[in-house]
Structure 1
């Protein structure tokens, strides 16, 4: 398990939603510190070709948006995305004016937006929730509802064949209410970890590190007994599934005032947590990034962190890549740094990949190599030429 490359110059996005369709990663919305998040503009879409590691901005990003448009989604953060039959379904999220409860669909074949009409028990708009694909259902849990000014306490399912919402009536002891948690489906269970909630007894934010799963066939919540190295409670982390095991990365705990860049593995067969030890230069601490698995590789990009968490080495690197940021000369602890980088974690590095790393590490002569191999080396070590998002001019 090895971090094989780190490239700058991608979309500078925080709290975005991203999914994989074939060999491409689609990233939807999110924000960049300093942008006008109150303005209604259409949601931008960035596409990563995981064969060449090149980002492009999709043309639909520049379509004109009209307020109350029922076809184009306005730009937002805290939303979710799932893939079903090569179509991406976006639900929830908000900007600084309102939250949204309209379902949108992005067709990766015809490259267009639609807003499928849904019926049934439609959930209230929210952000900071999770969405998982189980069979042909999109399962929604948690998040924060603007209308009720409270954490959502119900599970909803959208039948993506019939476009009908239903309210899951669950049994068993339920997990505490929360937002910005993670949820993944393994077999017929939805595993839930982390998030931010309110502690009635303490009267402050609460970060739970208990693991829960929802038996989706029996609609029953279960809190399994876990062993091993249990991660500290956190929010705005990432979770993904590889070989029927759940992995989490990064996140933030406000009570500890700490960002994380650790990775943990949870094995449902043994109900055991363990720290994942990787080789290579790993990402710096961050939250609200995206982690998308394509084959045996994890693509991690975006996110944010406080300036006070930056090491001097990372700070110098950031100054070199982003000379437009004047306040880096006089660090202030409450400033946020948004990332436009891409990290790739290879669970099963091939001999070809290892040879490429060796060639660069030892500065061997690349001119004698075949053109295809030289192209792979260039892609692996050349940043995207243009930072797609505008420079971060304000801490917000």
Structure 2
């Protein structure tokens, strides 16, 4: 399997949420260094056409429009799930507060709504996970605004009745955490990674990063901890998780104890409870966290996220200076937010392989049919939603 596309110029976003609907990918909100996240401005929505790899921004409604008050405010650390052509946005925060209002985006007409919900509505939070199983949205974990602590609870929203309920599960749940992943495979919800704390629900400098996979059987509401074999992944947070042909894949992420970012691709086989390392061909993404991954057919679309800035001299010098002052904690490396797009093809056609070779070796395309030249232009022409950074982001 190769990485076949690498393009710059898309939305520069971190901690955004994205879903695939037919041949399009919808990306909602997120954080970008330098922007103001205290004011409640409307959430931005970007749409990727996966045929020609072009990003476009959805126009926000005018203040005078009834739609204006139905758009969620710009946020990060939220979740997005899709049911038919509808995307449900829940949770997340700006720099002032977190949210627990449910929003709905219709991908057919780009209209927003606030569905009326009932039942036991969860408290506002960010860094939680959400996935859909059997017409229900399962929300796990996150960092709760009101209690100021990590969660290990499961909340379920029935997308038919719009009723929330707190799920009383059996078995040992995953530890308190945020910025983990929850991935549905059949009737099971698989939880991996995330940031927790040695003090349980309370946040301190004593962070823990779980490397154990745990899954919830939604039929019996029971947690299970399989005995796994094969490669043991490093615990991490802010990674991406997706499924392909019944297997769970993990990409990237960050471990705050080792201060390491990752760009590894790992596969978990739930039938055999086995982890393995996947090594795609081609030029893949640099190590990063807080990116998004969406699967359409045999292709994975990865975009955004943040990484240590390539110029690490300033960071190294700063930490060397801090060593002279006992009691000062080392500072995290300066980060750079990404606006790039990568495509991983699990089953590339002969035509795709030929095109990638033409691109890689910069071969002449003059004698090729126009349809092939169109595909080459689409796979190499940068987007223009955002401009490259001239310095640290």
**TM-score normalised to structure 1 length:** 0.90
1: CA distance, partners of 2:297 / 2:84: 18
2: CA distance, partners of 1:135 / 1:393: 47
- Give the CA deviation at 1:334: 3.1
> Where do 4+ consecutive residues of structure 1 move more than 6 Å?
none
In structure 1, what is the equivalent of residue 327 of structure 2? none
Q: Is the 8 A contact 2:254 2:289 kept in 1?
A: yes
1:232-271 alignment, distance < 5 Å: 232-271=234-273
In structure 2, relative to structure 1, the CA distance for the partners of 1:390 and 1:363 (3 Å cut) is closer
In structure 2, what is the equivalent of residue 22 of structure 1? 22
User: 3-state DSSP class of the match of 1:106?
Assistant: strand
- Give the CA deviation at 1:388: 2.9
- Give the CA deviation at 1:172: 0.6
- Give the CA deviation at 1:368: 1.3
In structure 2, what is the equivalent of residue 317 of structure 1? none
User: 3-state DSSP class of the match of 1:59?
Assistant: coil
In structure 1, what is the equivalent of residue 199 of structure 2? 200
In structure 2, what is the equivalent of residue 297 of structure 1? 299
1:92-241 alignment, distance < 5 Å: 92-200=91-199, 204-241=206-243
1: CA distance, partners of 2:64 / 2:308: 32
- Give the CA deviation at 1:129: 0.3
- Give the CA deviation at 1:63: 4.2
Greater alpha carbon shift after TM alignment, 104-113 vs 200-209: 200-209
2: CA distance, partners of 1:50 / 1:73: 26
In structure 2, relative to structure 1, the CA distance for the partners of 1:16 and 1:85 (3 Å cut) is same
Q: Is the 8 A contact 1:47 1:57 kept in 2?
A: yes
1: CA distance, partners of 2:106 / 2:387: 24
Greater alpha carbon shift after TM alignment, 360-369 vs 107-116: 360-369
Q: Deviations over 1:229-282 (max 9, x none)?
A: 011000000000000100000000010010000010000000000001110001
In structure 2, what is the equivalent of residue 335 of structure 1? 334
2: CA distance, partners of 1:305 / 1:361: 25
In structure 2, relative to structure 1, the CA distance for the partners of 1:249 and 1:39 (3 Å cut) is same
- Give the CA deviation at 1:365: 2.5
**TM-score normalised to structure 2 length:** 0.90
- Give the CA deviation at 1:166: 1.1
In structure 1, what is the equivalent of residue 369 of structure 2? 370
User: 3-state DSSP class of the match of 1:178?
Assistant: coil
Q: Is the 8 A contact 1:34 1:392 kept in 2?
A: no
Give 1:388's match in structure 2, choosing from 369, 386, 389.
386
Q: Deviations over 1:157-201 (max 9, x none)?
A: 101111111111100112110000001010111000000001139
Q: Is the 8 A contact 1:16 1:78 kept in 2?
A: yes
In structure 2, what is the equivalent of residue 52 of structure 1? 52
Q: Is the 8 A contact 1:32 1:392 kept in 2?
A: no
2: CA distance, partners of 1:309 / 1:206: 28
Q: Is the 8 A contact 1:130 1:143 kept in 2?
A: yes
Consecutive unaligned residues of structure 2, counting only runs of 5 or more, are: 314-330
- Give the CA deviation at 1:10: 0.3
Consecutive unaligned residues of structure 1, counting only runs of 5 or more, are: 312-331
User: 3-state DSSP class of the match of 2:70?
Assistant: coil
Q: Is the 8 A contact 1:104 1:116 kept in 2?
A: yes
1: CA distance, partners of 2:307 / 2:63: 32
2: CA distance, partners of 1:178 / 1:30: 20
Q: How many residues align?
A: 371
